[in-house]
Structure 1
């Protein structure tokens, strides 16, 4: 694996497939970038097996295997992660300087207990690599006030789309540190859909069931690729500036007892996803598009998914090693939460996500081709220059 984008895409698919086991035939939307960036900040303070598990879940060890000479350092595995963290730094810098007419903001913040002693090296590293500052709060004496302050910050950073990030009771007097990432994207289609063409049409849930939804419709020039082996069609919908695009992965057939996605979701790998969404050698063609308006929201507890993927020590007070964060030997992750929002309409797309980690102390052709997305499909929003996936999901029922 040769890049951070490859590692992020592999983590994205691992996370999606594990989440799908308990979210069968349900809508899913999440930001793999938000989760991976925030988990990488956590990993900076981890050591030993705790850090190794995180690197494997994030596929950071595969980035390291192809890092250029000189990036690994000579002081052991703790420093080896520098290659990946430096790539995260470069990615965040590139995204913040995006010249696209789309709006994208990514923010990181540490909220730390005012009386707790954090290692200065950890604070310096997170500031340099992730542009994150430590905000002192009083978890011990005013946990509820601290929770509201964090939630207010997340709401502001996500354009009001992510509210109540941490629910009541999630933060208490044992909370030591909250690491939070927030991402907000807003882009207009390069070619907008006309509202007058939107009308109610059936969306097939399977061969036996359907529901009427608002279906957008227009004919224009787009890039489309048909994958015969997977019986799937991929459509690229660029946003203004064409630095970002939404890709729709639409199965061509629906079986009686399925949503039409089972075969596709089983077959998808990082290599195939990269191939399917590579439109460099695909020519524009006239296509008639039918795409439903849809609005999805998600709220996920990350702990069971990450533990299933192999990240276990960080959540166990007896095995967690966060000695790179503080000299306190009893720190561990108590909660990890991800919330997301995505809305698609005639104008374009607005999407937001936030990820929060709570660290606690153990003590306390001439004929237009028709692309009709009238049955379940996968989708993703990708930053084309870096090939990084910002949002990924499944639309089963708009």
Structure 2
């Protein structure tokens, strides 16, 4: 599964870079895993240049069985964490879909292609899709599609809906949360609720670009949040631009590797935040080279249906994440095994200016979510 996690990381950062061009200095949050899985379902039915473009963009070759195992591992119920990945294709009812294709999407991606009537009851179809998404995300994501996005010309809709809320392995105590300034840039500040705790965490100091990397594990250590906090520099107050320029899958793997990260006693300051982001992904994916699948005249999805004219008309993802003090007392002792016997220096990790973060499924080394927090 190593090749799949590596390909997913590369796709994640390529997608982040394209999204950043449109979202400069804005919060960003998305799931590269969900997007990869959903387009994997498209790959099952894509042929010709359409298939080549997607494979070139995200190394989507012979990975379906790997996705089957990965999605099963990531989605497995676990105490202390709620993780829902909802993927589905909604297709126009007048198109005859191949049964082999429907069987494959269910087998490999835990999803089915559902036929709806876009031509004559587009509003009913929109409500149906929104209800399905809301149900799959425990009511956290509502109205994925606003009125007017789906119209009678819609043929195929690609849907990703993500919900995640995790309990820390060691909780932040609510009484330690204080109002603190969050420096947006040289001249602008906002007030945030800054959480605090001191304990033993894996941390790395990176010289180029200058930053600190911190791992905050969730319950059972199966999932962790990694925070990439650039050093404040004179030329660019946050240092975020230098960090993003140096962001590659090879560098990210090196910065967060077990050889680089080491258990240290750290004073951790982290803002509470809640992010709900929604993106229409067509233009971003087209900039990455995925063109034909959205083009009425060029899309070759003949492995999905024998009828001509099938095309992905909309690709939309909506993601939700909430970070607060919650943790579990039963897991708080897990950090104690990392404590050295001597009394070490206590380092400080204060996320009071823009940073990048991602949530990783540790057993498979897979980035499930990726984001930038730059505006409270």
Contact map agreement 2:160 2:317 (CA 8 A) in 1: no
Contact map agreement 2:31 2:368 (CA 8 A) in 1: yes
Report the 3-state secondary structure (helix = DSSP H, G, I; strand = E; otherwise coil) of the residue aligned with 2:120: coil
Report the 3-state secondary structure (helix = DSSP H, G, I; strand = E; otherwise coil) of the residue aligned with 2:283: helix
Contact map agreement 1:155 1:162 (CA 8 A) in 2: yes
Structure 1 residue ranges (4+ consecutive) displaced by more than 4 angstroms after TM superposition: none
Structure 1 position 189 matched with structure 2 position 151:
no
Aligned to 1:70: none
Show structure 1 runs of 5+ residues with no match. Answer: 61-80, 349-364
Q: 2:316 aligns with which of 337, 352, 360?
A: 337
Structure 1 position 169 matched with structure 2 position 148:
yes
Aligned to 1:64: none
Report the 3-state secondary structure (helix = DSSP H, G, I; strand = E; otherwise coil) of the residue aligned with 1:206: coil
Report the 3-state secondary structure (helix = DSSP H, G, I; strand = E; otherwise coil) of the residue aligned with 1:160: coil
Q: 1:313 aligns with which of 292, 298, 308?
A: 292
Query: 1:113-124 to 2 correspondence within 5 Å?
Result: 113-124=92-103
Contact map agreement 2:238 2:354 (CA 8 A) in 1: yes
Per the TM alignment, residue 173 of structure 1 is displaced from its structure 2 partner at its CA by 2.7
Q: Structure 2: how far apart are the matches of 1:169 and 1:274?
A: 42
Contact map agreement 1:158 1:184 (CA 8 A) in 2: yes
Q: Structure 2: how far apart are the matches of 1:110 and 1:23?
A: 27
Provide TM-score, normalisation by structure 2: 0.91
Aligned to 1:38: 38
Aligned to 2:355: 377
Contact map agreement 1:197 1:218 (CA 8 A) in 2: yes
Aligned to 1:138: 117
Q: Structure 1: how far apart are the matches of 2:116 and 2:215?
A: 45
Q: Structure 2: how far apart are the matches of 1:53 and 1:303?
A: 14
Q: 1:391 aligns with which of 365, 369, 374?
A: 369
Aligned to 1:63: none
Report the 3-state secondary structure (helix = DSSP H, G, I; strand = E; otherwise coil) of the residue aligned with 1:189: coil
Contact map agreement 1:25 1:259 (CA 8 A) in 2: no
What is the RMSD of the two structures over their aligned residues, measured on CA atoms?
1.9
Aligned to 1:9: 9
Show structure 2 runs of 5+ residues with no match. Answer: 328-342
Q: Which moved more, 1:109-118 or 1:315-324?
A: 109-118
Q: Which moved more, 1:263-272 or 1:338-347?
A: 338-347
Report the 3-state secondary structure (helix = DSSP H, G, I; strand = E; otherwise coil) of the residue aligned with 1:110: strand
Contact map agreement 1:102 1:241 (CA 8 A) in 2: no
Aligned to 1:274: 253
Q: Structure 2: how far apart are the matches of 1:149 and 1:313?
A: 28
Q: Structure 2: how far apart are the matches of 1:146 and 1:102?
A: 32
Query: 1:275-294 to 2 correspondence within 5 Å?
Result: 275-279=254-258, 282-294=261-273
Contact map agreement 1:37 1:181 (CA 8 A) in 2: no
Per the TM alignment, residue 312 of structure 1 is displaced from its structure 2 partner at its CA by 0.8
Aligned to 2:283: 304
Per the TM alignment, residue 94 of structure 1 is displaced from its structure 2 partner at its CA by 1.5
Report the 3-state secondary structure (helix = DSSP H, G, I; strand = E; otherwise coil) of the residue aligned with 1:3: helix
Query: 1:57-76 to 2 correspondence within 5 Å?
Result: 57-60=57-60
Per the TM alignment, residue 102 of structure 1 is displaced from its structure 2 partner at its CA by 1.9
Q: Structure 1: how far apart are the matches of 2:6 and 2:356?
A: 19
Report the 3-state secondary structure (helix = DSSP H, G, I; strand = E; otherwise coil) of the residue aligned with 1:146: helix
Query: 1:72-87 to 2 correspondence within 5 Å?
Result: 81=61, 83-87=62-66
Per the TM alignment, residue 189 of structure 1 is displaced from its structure 2 partner at its CA by 0.6
Per the TM alignment, residue 253 of structure 1 is displaced from its structure 2 partner at its CA by 2.1
